[in-house]
């Protein structure tokens, strides 16, 4: 069954001058990246406390790295889907744009997104636990687990944000500013339970932006959305693109 796209939404997308987009794991689900929560989510099989906290890494860096090495292997061959491509196209269509992603998979960049911030880091980067230096490392699998800094020999860690850690200041400031100043805020595929990212749609709304949500499930953000499009991101954005006359 074809999803009904409200006419007013198509008009709003055509007329928007400042657009911000917040994405979560759901935008990459149709590419094959597992989400965190929900029936098939990673947190059903793996404990965030044992794998995604600084305490877990201090306790057992080998275990944490094995998990990230496995996920790097899973993500490496995957390709962007129509939702990533729709967002990359939207960036080209509006005068002012920022993509705010919670995802670490790099699929937005692969789809051509440029004006973006990564709130939770990037799985293809490693950081020295002693020097704080960040380096890209796309080797799959990594030859040594846990990997060590070539320069000082200290442990490297994934350059991602774990629970209890602060988000990168520049990325968060950019995201806040975008939420405060945009006229349309699009939210795609996030359960809206992890803060501070989950506060951004509320910030946008309270500053007068139209909020559009795309997600197959109802989330805590649904009630504040001007339009909530219930469906898979790839399918809904394909429909939106058709309405807007865009080739994806």
Q: Does 38 bind ligand BJW (CB under 6 A)?
A: yes
Give the C-alpha separation, 220 to 191, whole Å.
Answer: 7
Q: Which of 31, 109, 122, 219 is the binder for ligand BJW (CB under 6 A)?
A: 219
Calculate Rg over the CA atoms of the chain. 18
What's the closest the beta carbon of residue 50 comes to ligand BJW, in angstroms? 12
What's the closest the beta carbon of residue 24 comes to ligand BJW, in angstroms? 3
Residues whose CB falls within 8 Å of the CB of residue 81, separated by 6 or more in sequence, listed in order: 27, 28, 30, 31, 233, 234
Q: How many residues in total does the chain contain?
A: 248
179 CA to centre of own chain: 15
What's the closest the beta carbon of residue 218 comes to ligand BJW, in angstroms? 9
Give the C-alpha separation, 37 to 26, whole Å.
Answer: 10
The span of 32-40, 72-80, 91-99, 125-133 binding ligand BJW (CB under 6 A) equals: 32-40
Q: Which of 25, 87, 99, 128 is the binder for ligand BJW (CB under 6 A)?
A: 25
Q: Does 106 bind ligand BJW (CB under 6 A)?
A: no
Active site residue 120: yes
Q: Does 238 bind ligand BJW (CB under 6 A)?
A: no
Q: Which residue is nearest to ligand BJW (CB)?
A: 26
Burial (0-12, 13-18, 19+ Cβ within 10 Å), 164 = exposed
Q: Does 165 bind ligand BJW (CB under 6 A)?
A: yes
Q: Does 193 bind ligand BJW (CB under 6 A)?
A: yes
Q: Does 190 bind ligand BJW (CB under 6 A)?
A: yes
Q: Decide the pairing of beta strands 121-128 and 156-160.
A: antiparallel
Residues whose CB falls within 8 Å of the CB of residue 32, separated by 6 or more in sequence, listed in order: 74, 78
Q: Decide the pairing of beta strands 134-136 and 121-128.
A: antiparallel
Q: Which of 13, 22, 33, 36 is the binder for ligand BJW (CB under 6 A)?
A: 36
The span of 34-42, 125-133, 177-185, 201-209 binding ligand BJW (CB under 6 A) equals: 34-42
Residues that bind ligand BJW (CB under 6 A): 24-26, 29-30, 35-38, 41, 52, 102, 104, 120, 160-167, 189-191, 193-196, 215-217, 219, 232-233
**Residues designated catalytic:** 120
């Amino acid at each position: 069954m074809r999803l009904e796209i409200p006419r007013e939404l198509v008009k709003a997308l055509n007329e928007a001058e400042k657009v911000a987009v917040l994405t979560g794991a759901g935008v990459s689900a149709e590419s094959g990246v597992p989400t965190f929560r929900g029936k098939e989510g990673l947190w059903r099989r793996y404990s965030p406390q044992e794998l995604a906290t600084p305490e877990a890494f201090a306790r057992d860096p080998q275990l944490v790295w094995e998990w990230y090495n496995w996920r790097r292997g899973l993500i490496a061959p995957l390709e962007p889907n129509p939702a990533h491509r729709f967002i990359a196209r939207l960036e080209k269509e509006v005068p002012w744009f920022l993509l705010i992603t919670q995802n670490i998979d790099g699929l937005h960049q692969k789809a051509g997104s440029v004006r973006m911030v990564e709130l939770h880091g990037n799985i293809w980067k490693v950081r020295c636990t002693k020097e704080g230096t960040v380096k890209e490392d796309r080797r799959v699998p990594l030859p040594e687990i846990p990997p060590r800094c070539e320069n000082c020999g200290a442990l490297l860690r994934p350059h991602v944000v774990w629970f209890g850690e602060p988000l990168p200041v520049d990325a968060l400031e950019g995201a806040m500013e975008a939420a405060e100043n945009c006229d349309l805020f699009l939210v795609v595929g996030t359960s809206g339970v992890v803060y501070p990212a989950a506060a951004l749609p509320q910030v946008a709304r309270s500053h007068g932006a139209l909020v559009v949500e795309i997600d197959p499930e109802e989330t805590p953000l649904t009630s504040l959305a001007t339009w909530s499009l219930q469906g898979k991101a790839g399918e809904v954005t394909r429909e939106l693109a058709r309405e807007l006359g865009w080739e994806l």
